[in-house]
Structure 1
Amino acid sequence: MYVYESADALTYRLLKGPAYTPPTGLIRDPSLIRHTDGYYYLVHTTDWTGNTIGFARSRDRTTWQFVAQHTLPVSGLARTWAPEWFVDTDGSVHVVVSLDTTNTFTFRPHLLTATDASLTRWTIPRPVAGLDRANYIDTFIVRHGGVYHAITKQETTKYLEHAVADSLAGPYTFTGTGDWAGWGSWREGPALVQLDNGGWRIYFDGYAEGKYYYSDSLDGLRTWTPIRELPGLSGFARHFTVLRERV
C-alpha cells in the first residue's frame, strides 16, 4: 500500500511507499478513516479467495500496525472483497463488503457494524436491502442531503450505478443505471470525497485501459462532468479511497 496526500483532491504527492504490507500477506482495496481514538484505521481485502478482511491502524498515516484479520461467519463464503468504511452521523462505524457465497464471482454487498469502540468486534454481515440483487461489488456509500447514496459496480455490465435510501441498511432504489453518468463501462473501485465548494468528486479505476479517472458533481450527485485522467496516479494506482481532513 502507498500513501499520498493532496491539498486540492487532484494533485497528489507521495508520503510513503510502500507504506504497509500486512503480516497475513496480500493487501487490496484499502479504505481509510480517522477514528475518535485519534488513530487512522485501514480495512482491506486480504486474499483472492477466503472469508476474511484485514484491519490496521496508524497515528500518522505512514507507519502502520496490524490489528486483526477478521473472519466473516457466512456459510459458503468464497470471496470477501472490497471492504469500505462508512461512519454515520450518529458516530456508528460500519464496513460495506462484497461477498461471493456461490463461488461464481457473483457478489452482493453486506453491512457490518462495529459493536465496540476498538473496532475489533463486529455484527454478523447482513445483505444491504435493494443492493442484494446478484452481482454488485465495490459499493461506496456517502450521506448527502439527508439521503444515503450508494455508487456500486454492476459486475455483469461493468457500469457504476447509483442508488439511494433513507436508511444505511436500505432498501435502496436505483436512480442511475447503465451509462447514466457518461463515465462509460469497465469502471470499478469508486471513491467519493466532498470538495471545498460543496460539490463531490468521484475517482474510479478504468481498469480495461489501465488508467485512473475522476469526475465532479455540483448538483448533489445527479449530473457529472466528463471524466478526466487523474494526473500522477493514473496508470499506477488501483482502487484507492480518499479521506478528507481539515488541517
Structure 2
Amino acid sequence: MKRSFLSMLVILITVISCTAQHVYVFAYFKGNGEDGLHLAYSKDGYKWAALKNDQSFLTPVVSKDRLMRDPCIIRGGDGLFHMVWTVSWNDKGIGYASSKDLVHWSQQEYVPVMEKEAGARNCWAPEITYDQKTGTYMIYWATTVTGKYTETLSGKESSYNHRLYYVTTKDFKTYSPAQLLYEPGFNVIDATIVKAGRQYMMVMKDETVEPAKKNLRLAYSDELTGPYSKAGLPITGNYWAEGPTTLQLGKDWLIYFDRYKDHRYGVILSSDRQKWTDVSDKISLPEGIRHGTIFTVSEQELQGLL
C-alpha cells in the first residue's frame, strides 16, 4: 500500500511538473514583413529571446507583394499550429499555413476572403480564434469597403475606414462567406479575441483619424461570432498603440501592443480587466519586433525550436 501511494505521488508530481513546463512563444514580423515569420520565446512572459538568431522561420510566397505581416498562430483542436497573416497592403485575401512543429510548414495558401466584395480595398491583421464547443475556427480581419460607413470617413491616411469581418471553417479547406463581425461606430482594426471566463473578450484598436484616437479598447460577447458589446473606454495611454496580443498569467492579464510611433512595445496588466497598469518597463523583447501574437508550446517543442 505504501509503495503504491509513493508511486501515485511520483506520477502526480511528474504530471504537475510537465503541465507547468509551458513556454510562451511570440510570433512577429520585422521591417515590412518581406522576410517572413520570426519567433521569440519566454519562460515568464516578460523577458523574451529571439529564436534562430532572429532569422525567418518561413519566407512568404503568396500574393503579388509576398509579405508576411501580422502573423497570428494558434494551436488548433487537431494539435496543429495554424497561422494566418497579412499578405499585402492592398489585396482581398490573407495567407494561411499550418505546422506540427513551427519549423516545417505546409504549402502556403492564399485565401480570398473578400474577393466577392467589389469595393474591398484590403485585408489587414487577420487572426484566428478556436471555439472548442463547436470545433469551429473563426478567422477575422479588418477591411475598408469603399462607400460603406461614410459617417466615419476621413480624407486623411488614404481614406481607410475599416470594419471587422470574419469567416468560419472546420478544416481550413472550405470557408463560410465573409460576414460583418463588428461595427462599433468608428474606424476599427487589429482585433484579437480570447476566452475570458464564460465570455469572449475582444481587444481592438480605435483607428479614428480625426481627431486621432489610436488606442486600444475592449468589447465582450457570449458567443465567438458575436454580437459584441459596445466598446469600452480606452485602456492604453497618451500614445499610439496597435497590434494587441494577450497573455494570461494566473489571475493577471497582460496585453502586449506595438507602440509603433515610439518604435517600441508596451504592456499593460490587470487582474480584473477593469483597471489597467502600464508595466512596459518590466519587459524585454527582440529589437525591431512588430505586430504579432503570443501562444504556448511545451518544453519539448521549445527544444525542437532551439
TM-score normalised by L of structure 1: 0.89
Conserved 8 A contact 1:68-1:120: no
Residue 79 of structure 1 corresponds to 122
Conserved 8 A contact 2:138-2:225: no
Residue 110 of structure 1 corresponds to 165
Structure 1 distance, partners of 2:179, 2:128, is: 15
Residue 46 of structure 2 corresponds to 10
Structure 2 distance, partners of 1:246, 1:174, is: 37
| Residue 93 (structure 1) aligned with residue 137 (structure 2) | yes
SS in structure 2 of the partner of residue 9 of structure 1: coil
Conserved 8 A contact 1:193-1:244: no
1:62-107 deviation digits (Å, cap 9, x = unpaired)? 3333331000232311110000111123132111111111273111
Q: Which has the higher strand share?
A: 1
Structure 2 distance, partners of 1:129, 1:46, is: 22
Give 1:20's match in structure 2, choosing from 36, 58, 66.
58
Higher relative contact order (CA 8 A, sep 6+): 2
Long gaps (5+) in structure 1: none
Instruction: Tell me how many residue pairs correspond in the alignment.
Output: 239
Residue 58 of structure 2 aligns with an amino acid whose one-letter code is Y
Cα distance change on mapping 1:2 and 1:189 into 2, 3 Å: same
Conserved 8 A contact 1:95-1:112: yes
- Give the Å deviation of 1:129: 4.1
Identity of aligned residues (%): 30
Give the ranges of 4+ consecutive aligned residues of structure 1 lying more than 4 Å apart after TM superposition: none
Structure 1 distance, partners of 2:271, 2:191, is: 21
Give 1:191's match in structure 2, choosing from 238, 245, 253.
245
RMSD: 1.8
Conserved 8 A contact 1:204-1:212: yes
Cα distance change on mapping 1:4 and 1:222 into 2, 3 Å: same
Residue 195 of structure 2 corresponds to 143
Conserved 8 A contact 1:3-1:62: no
- Give the Å deviation of 1:44: 0.2
Specify the structure having the higher radius of gyration (Cα). 2
Conserved 8 A contact 1:142-1:150: yes
Residue 32 of structure 2 corresponds to none
TM-score normalised by L of structure 2: 0.73
Residue 205 of structure 2 aligns with an amino acid whose one-letter code is K
Conserved 8 A contact 2:163-2:183: no
SS in structure 1 of the partner of residue 67 of structure 2: coil
Cα distance change on mapping 1:37 and 1:173 into 2, 3 Å: closer
Conserved 8 A contact 1:159-1:187: yes
Residue 35 of structure 1 corresponds to 76
Long gaps (5+) in structure 2: 1-36, 147-157, 300-306
Conserved 8 A contact 1:130-1:170: no
